[in-house]
Structures are given as structure tokens and as C-alpha cells.
């Protein structure tokens, strides 16, 4: 038993694990500090295993029982849209979110008038989209907004529809919840919709990770009468799913902005945002997994070397044996991380963990190569007691 414990906690396993961390750290520093590698650094910064896990969860998604999307398609006639909103309102939804900004008076005057009157008659449970603009870094707030032409006149309930706070149109994985505008706080569009039904406690400049584990019924704007059951006692989001300028990259692919807003509403209402443990937690878990992985590899290598049959020699000399072990171990770790995401809504830094595991074999080769080179001229304790000599 003493010998087994001595082997399990041998310094070689620790040194190889630490070397794997050092190699990853060095590679990261090289990537972020060399100017010609900036594109690679940005690409790495925009990689997250949440995309893979979200797609897995989305494949088994149920249809939302609360949120319905009314698709206006390519209909931009204000009179028709006003009648659509009035029809939706007559069916008494729990809340209505209008993901359309009717900027300025344009088109036929009578259409503008109908839209104005419809907006005036819709209840307090209707939220109108607005766009926050001109962010002031010094003040930490937006200086202006672009709203529908009647919003300020009627004092309508508004929520900002910004999906990307840095306007770089990166992959959208998180929603904005509360931002400062002109000295005041304004809720995001989905947060304001959720607040019409539930009390919310939000902190400025915070984000929630969007949970994509659902799907939504989409009703065409000209078929509302056929789908009354999907409008009454539902949260209804009105917007276009065909507007090419409002398509966004998300964890589950390219989807329309109104659909992203629907996912955000669903996430807030069901309190199913993703929890992110600190990087230190992920690093600690990665360290333990790397140590275990190195131990398993070493056990496998020693077992194969003791065997003299042809197949065992082939597995050892071709490194095929350790590659098979690597694939199996990676698959088990990825499965465990995916289960934590899907079942517990916890996202450990899977990219970091898997990259560190991927460097263990490389670190093992470097370490034992260094031992072989140094032992010829030095008699240090760590060299003499290395596992390679046992």
C-alpha cells in the first residue's frame, strides 16, 4: 500500500501536470503579445464551449408554453402593423413586446395616425423597443436613444433592444439587463417585459447568460385569428424573422434578433441563466483532471511495456494505446461538463480544461526527454528518482 501511494503521489506526475500548465500559459502569452497573431487572439477570445453545450441542449428543447413570436415578415406598412398590434391586444396577452422602432413620421399620414392611436390604447403591459446610442466611457452611460416617434409623447414603457454592448456583433451568448441612460437606469427589452409580470432585482451593467434550451411558436402576422390560443395568456413578441440586418450569431447559430429577445425573456422568467464559477475553480478542476490523466497514461504505458505480445508492442511503440486512452478520457470529461451545463446550468471553463488536458502528453514527452538528457551529467535527486528509471 505504501508503494502504491508513493507511486500515485510521485513528483513526476506533479511536475508533468505543472509543465502542462506552463506550456499553455506560455502559448497564451505568445498569442496575445505578438501583433501579427491579433486575429488568432480575437478568435480565441470568442470561443466558448457554451456554444457546443447549448446546441446539445437545444436539440432536446421543448416548445415554450409562455412566449410566442408574431412574425411581421417583410410587412412594413404602418397601418397594417397597427391593426396587427390592435388584434393582438384584443386577445389579452399577458404582455406584448414590440421589437420594432417606428422612427420619425413617414409614409401615409393616416397610417401614422392609426399607429399613434393604437399605441395610445395598448396597456401598460406593452413594452416598446428602443435603441441606446452614443456610449460615454467616462460616464459609463449612453447619451441618447432612438425610439418610436410617439414613445415620448405617450410616455410608453420602453426597453432597450441592444444585443451587443460593444457594437462588434460578436457571438451573442449573454443578454444585457440594465444600463444607464442620461443619468437614469433603463431595463433591457426582455428584462422590461419580464418585469411586467414578475418583480426583478437587477444590477447596472450586468449580464445574464442566455439559456437556449427551448423553442418558440412563430405566428405569421396575417394569421393571428387562427392561433388565438398562442396569443391569449402568453407573452407575445412582435418582430421580423426575415430582416437580414437583424440576424445575429448565437450559441445555436445565426438567428433573428426577435428570437434572441425571446430566449432572453424565457431565461429571465424561468431563472435559468447559466452560472459561471470563477476561473480559479476551473483551474483547480483542470489541475486535478490533468494529474489523474497523467497517472492513467503512465499506468497504461507501464502495463504495455511489461507485455511482450505483438499487439501490445504495437500499441506501445505506435503510441496508439495512449491515443485511445486520451480519446476516452476527453470524451468522459466533455460529457461531465455537458451534464453540468444541461442539468445544473453550471458552465465550467471547458475550453481551458480541455486545452490543458491536451497539453499533458506534450508535457510528458518534454519532461522525460529532459530527464534523459540531464541524467547523463547530473546526479540530482529528482533525476535519480524519476519514474523513467524505475
Q: Which three cell numbers stand for residue 314?
A: 504495437
Q: What is the mean pLDDT of residues 31-44?
A: 58
- Residue 70 confidence (pLDDT): 96
142 in the Ramachandran plot: left (φ > 0), alpha (ψ -120 to 50) or beta? beta
Q: What is the mean pLDDT of residues 279-288?
A: 92
Q: What is the mean pLDDT of residues 304-321?
A: 80
pTM: 0.70
- Residue 227 confidence (pLDDT): 93
Task: Name the more confident of 317 and 71.
Answer: 71
- Residue 285 confidence (pLDDT): 94
Q: What's the pLDDT band for 204 if we cut at 50, 70, 90?
A: low
Q: What's the pLDDT band for 95 if we cut at 50, 70, 90?
A: very high
List the beta bridge partners of residue 217. 68
Q: What is the pLDDT of residues 237-261, one digit of tens each?
A: 999 998 888 888 888 889 999 999 9
- Residue 352 confidence (pLDDT): 86
Single out the residue of 144, 142, 92, 86 nearest to residue 118, CA to CA: 86
Q: What is the mean pLDDT of residues 151-156?
A: 90
Q: What are the backbone angles phi and psi of residue 39, rounded to the nearest 5°?
A: -60, -40
Q: What is the mean pLDDT of residues 168-187?
A: 81
Residue 40 pLDDT exceeds 60: no
Residue 317 pLDDT exceeds 80: no
Report how far Cα 67 is from the mean position of its chain's Cα atoms.
Answer: 21
How is 171-228 classified by DSSP, letter by letter?
-B-EEE-EEEETTEEEEBHHHHHHHTTS-----TT-EEEPP--EEEEEEEGGGGGGGG
Range in 109-118, 200-209, 247-256 the model is least confident about: 200-209
Q: What is the mean pLDDT of residues 281-296?
A: 93
Q: What's the pLDDT band for 274 if we cut at 50, 70, 90?
A: low
Single out the residue of 144, 140, 130, 234 nearest to residue 188, CA to CA: 130
Residue 4 pLDDT exceeds 90: no
Half-sphere exposure (Cβ direction) of 201: Cα atoms closer than 13 Å: 0
What ranges do the domains of the chain cover? 2-45+277-389, 61-269
Residue 41 pLDDT exceeds 70: no
What percent of the chain shows pLDDT beyond 90?
35
List the beta bridge partners of residue 7. none
Q: What's the pLDDT band for 190 if we cut at 50, 70, 90?
A: very high
Angstrom distance (rounded) from CA 32 to CA 44: 10
Q: What is the mean pLDDT of residues 207-228?
A: 89
- Residue 48 confidence (pLDDT): 64
Amino acid at each position: 500500500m505504501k508503494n502504491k501511494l508513493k507511486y500515485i503521489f510521485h513528483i513526476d506526475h506533479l511536475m508533468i501536470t505543472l509543465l502542462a500548465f506552463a506550456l499553455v500559459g506560455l502559448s497564451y502569452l505568445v498569442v496575445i503579445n505578438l501583433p501579427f497573431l491579433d486575429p488568432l487572439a480575437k478568435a480565441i477570445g470568442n470561443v466558448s464551449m457554451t456554444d457546443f453545450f447549448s446546441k446539445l441542449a437545444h436539440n432536446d428543447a421543448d416548445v415554450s408554453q409562455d412566449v410566442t413570436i408574431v412574425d411581421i415578415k417583410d410587412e412594413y406598412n404602418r397601418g397594417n402593423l397597427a391593426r396587427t398590434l390592435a388584434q393582438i391586444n384584443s386577445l389579452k396577452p399577458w404582455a406584448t413586446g414590440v421589437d420594432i422602432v417606428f422612427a420619425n413620421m413617414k409614409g401615409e399620414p393616416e397610417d401614422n395616425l392609426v399607429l399613434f392611436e393604437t399605441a395610445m390604447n395598448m396597456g401598460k403591459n406593452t413594452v416598446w423597443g428602443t435603441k441606446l446610442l452614443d456610449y460615454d466611457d467616462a460616464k459609463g452611460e449612453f447619451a441618447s436613444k432612438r425610439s418610436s416617434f410617439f414613445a415620448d409623447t405617450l410616455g410608453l414603457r420602453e426597453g432597450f433592444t441592444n444585443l451587443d454592448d460593444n457594437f462588434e456583433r460578436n457571438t451573442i451568448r449573454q443578454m444585457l439587463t440594465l444600463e444607464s441612460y442620461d443619468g437614469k437606469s433603463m431595463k433591457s427589452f426582455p428584462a422590461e417585459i419580464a418585469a411586467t409580470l414578475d418583480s426583478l432585482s437587477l444590477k447596472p451593467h450586468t449580464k445574464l447568460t442566455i439559456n437556449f434550451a427551448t423553442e418558440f411558436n412563430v405566428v405569421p402576422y396575417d394569421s393571428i385569428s387562427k392561433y388565438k390560443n398562442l396569443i391569449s395568456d402568453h407573452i407575445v413578441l412582435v418582430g421580423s424573422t426575415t430582416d437580414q440586418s437583424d440576424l445575429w450569431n448565437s450559441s445555436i447559430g445565426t438567428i433573428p434578433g426577435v428570437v434572441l429577445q425571446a430566449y432572453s425573456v424565457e431565461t429571465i422568467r424561468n431563472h435559468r441563466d447559466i452560472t459561471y464559477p470563477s476561473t480559479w475553480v476551473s483551474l483547480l478542476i483542470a489541475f486535478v483532471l490533468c494529474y489523474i490523466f497523467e497517472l492513467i497514461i503512465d499506468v497504461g504505458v507501464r502495463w504495455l511495456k511489461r507485455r511482450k505480445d505483438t499487439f501490445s508492442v504495437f500499441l506501445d511503440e505506435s503510441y496508439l494505446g495512449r491515443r485511445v486512452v486520451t480519446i476516452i478520457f476527453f470524451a468522459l470529461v466533455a460529457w461531465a461538463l455537458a451534464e453540468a451545463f444541461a442539468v445544473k446550468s453550471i458552465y465550467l471553463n471547458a475550453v481551458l480544461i480541455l486545452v490543458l488536458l491536451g497539453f499533458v502528453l506534450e508535457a510528458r514527452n518534454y519532461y522525460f526527454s529532459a530527464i534523459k538528457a540531464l541524467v547523463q551529467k547530473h546526479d540530482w535527486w529528482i533525476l535519480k528518482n524519476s519514474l523513467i528509471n524505475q
